[in-house]
Structure 1
Amino acid sequence: MDTMDLSDKVAVVTGSGRGLGLAYASALAAAGAAVVVNDVDTEAAERAVKEITEAGGHAVAEAAAVGETDAAERLVARAVAEFGRLDVMCTNAGILRDRVLWKMSDDEFDAVIKVHLRGTFTCARAAAIRMREQGGGGRLIMAASPAGQRGNFGQTNYAAAKAGIAAMARTWSMELANAGITANALVPVAATEMTRTIPAFAPYIDAMEQRGEPLPGWLRKGEGFGTVRDVAGLVVFLASDASSGVTGQCIGIGGDKLALWSHPQEISVAYADGGWDADAIAAAWPVSVGREPQSVGIPAPQVPAS
């Protein structure tokens, strides 16, 4: 499709030295975009650029730890200095500091919030300022997670950050609409070092990486779980002109599955003349709004019986 030709686009992808971020940067470059590869690891960023350029793409490396305003502004400035403009900001950088609530330290909470949530905010803000100044619209593509949609045991910090990113995408879609800038959150599920820690997935990831075995159908379809390359097509689509009418959405992708996540909304309502006191709520809860409580957590993988 001509609409997938990104040869006139310039993109920044944070956390793109490896894994999902590298897949995003490589796919954008393969579609013709010039890419600023960012990673906290200078060598990883430079290796990624080498891989992209050897494949015929255009890319430069900018090492920085996202979170602070200075880093975000450096990334935007590098894109403009090297390629003349900025059209796409893809915020992917992230870290994990998993621990249950009563054991999580302030530092573990703050570190994850800084990279994921504050890093997304500072990078999106810097990009929006540039895009509004230069005109012509733009694309903000932010990495969310199933954990941010449903919660996940041991991930207070990560789930909170990813839920915040989804909320920011909805907010920014309204604030930036008049400038032609879209804002969307992608919810990827793929074979990474993080998902390798899930016992049900680990042997299949190892078999794929060590022996070249394809992921089984129950993973690709039933769990929507695939390779990092399976996710990258959504980033290219969201960066393209074909997605000009798509904004404020949380879009899931993985394996053979593409999905649209719902926004939070009221699903059950009850009314009482004069309002509600505690006794009235207790009486009404099990027979009205509380009759079908919402589930929480990411469902466990359904491994087929051998």
Structure 2
Amino acid sequence: MDLSDKVAVVTGSGRGLGLGYARSLAAAGAAVVINDVDAEAADAAVEQISAAGGRAVAEVVPVGTASAAEALVARAVDSFGRLDVMVTNAGVLRDKVLWKMTDEDFDTVVQVHLRGTFTCVRAAVARMREQGEGGRIIVAGSPAGQRGNFGQTNYAAAKAGIAAMVRTWAMELARAGITANAVIPVAATAMTKTIPAFAPHIETLEQDGTAFPDSLRKGEGFGTVEDVAGLVTFLASDASAEVNGQCIGIGGDKLSLWSHPQEISVAYADGGWSADAIADAWPVTVGRTPQTFGIPAPRL
């Protein structure tokens, strides 16, 4: 991939997946705006990319507000003259079961993930449309947003909303040559290190570089940050021009395409449905094959 004529913003890119995305984009030639709330992490990321021969600058600001989004776009334009790619990766967690989740827990996660994605993409699209040369919107989804996950009402809701926004933006932005897609990553990060089935493997990887076994890389589609980053670089490139409105999973040795919600079973009743009629028909019509929910537990 040659992205030498592209300029990208990657939110939450001081460490973890965001840093992996920024490094991969820069290695392909793109100029990158690093964003994080931690100034030291952002500066270290810029130094790392620069040392490898890439181009990067930092903008330290918490995403979520319109002013933060506008500052990120302005940083790209002021530093590199344009903006071609917006990658919204920044996020936080406040995991609790429903009856223990506070308003603040809910609002904080929605503010960063859902509103942060909305404001950053809105600001980026305004610039891309002004340039008139198309662009790429790449947002971070999650299996939790596709399936639901115990203890993650706030996070799952935000990620499901992000997937819905991508499908909407794919329609709204197509005429301007701007594509919008969601990445559904599964990788070794500080977040997944809290999962008991994954923790020992991640610790071993960190200690001595031992590669993950096939039971993880293929069976669970679970690998390193570097395994995920290539998808973001592909979606930022001209090669992905026909890919739009999709939720694409990646992790380890696995690349996948997530389905969109659609009707899978229907029944009809002349004159409409009463409650009693639904009760009678449910087990023998649309209720015969109820949908599953939740992220399956790792099978190692």
- TM-score category of the 2 structures, normalised to the smaller one: over 0.9
Quote the residue 1:231 is aligned against: 228
- Are positions 1:171 and 2:168 aligned together? yes
- Are positions 1:261 and 2:254 aligned together? no
Quote the residue 2:289 is aligned against: 292
Distance 1:249 1:194 in 2: 24
- Are positions 1:158 and 2:155 aligned together? yes
Unpaired runs of 5+ residues, structure 1, are none
Distance 1:196 1:94 in 2: 16
Distance 1:140 1:41 in 2: 24
Distance 1:210 1:295 in 2: 37
- TM-align CA RMSD: 0.4
- Are positions 1:13 and 2:10 aligned together? yes
| Counterpart pick for 1:210 among 207, 210, 228 | 207
Quote the residue 1:131 is aligned against: 128
| 1:58 partner letter | R
Unpaired runs of 5+ residues, structure 2, are none
- Are positions 1:276 and 2:276 aligned together? no
SS at match of 1:7: coil
| Counterpart pick for 2:243 among 241, 246, 260 | 246
Distance 2:118 2:143 in 1: 20
Matches within 5 A, 1:97-108: 97-108=94-105
| 2:164 partner letter | A
Matches within 5 A, 1:57-136: 57-136=54-133
Distance 1:181 1:25 in 2: 20
Deviation at 1:177, TM superposition (A): 0.4
- Are positions 1:52 and 2:45 aligned together? no
- Are positions 1:38 and 2:26 aligned together? no
SS at match of 1:222: coil
| 2:80 partner letter | F
Quote the residue 1:141 is aligned against: 138
TM-score (normalizing by structure 2): 1.00
| 2:202 partner letter | I
| Counterpart pick for 2:217 among 207, 216, 220 | 220
TM-score (normalizing by structure 1): 0.98
SS at match of 2:9: strand
Deviation at 1:219, TM superposition (A): 0.1
Distance 2:221 2:209 in 1: 19
Distance 2:283 2:24 in 1: 50
Q: Deviations over 1:259-280 (max 9, x none)?
A: 0000000000000000000000
Distance 2:238 2:102 in 1: 44
| 1:208 partner letter | L
Q: Deviations over 1:147-178 (max 9, x none)?
A: 00000000000000000000000000000000
Quote the residue 1:29 is aligned against: 26
Quote the residue 2:191 is aligned against: 194
Deviation at 1:65, TM superposition (A): 0.1
SS at match of 2:73: helix
Identity rate, percent: 77
SS at match of 1:35: strand
Deviation at 1:211, TM superposition (A): 1.6
Distance 2:41 2:244 in 1: 32
Distance 1:247 1:125 in 2: 17
Deviation at 1:212, TM superposition (A): 1.2
Distance 1:114 1:268 in 2: 35
Q: Deviations over 1:226-261 (max 9, x none)?
A: 000000000000000000010100000000000000
Distance 1:242 1:212 in 2: 32
Aligned residues: 300
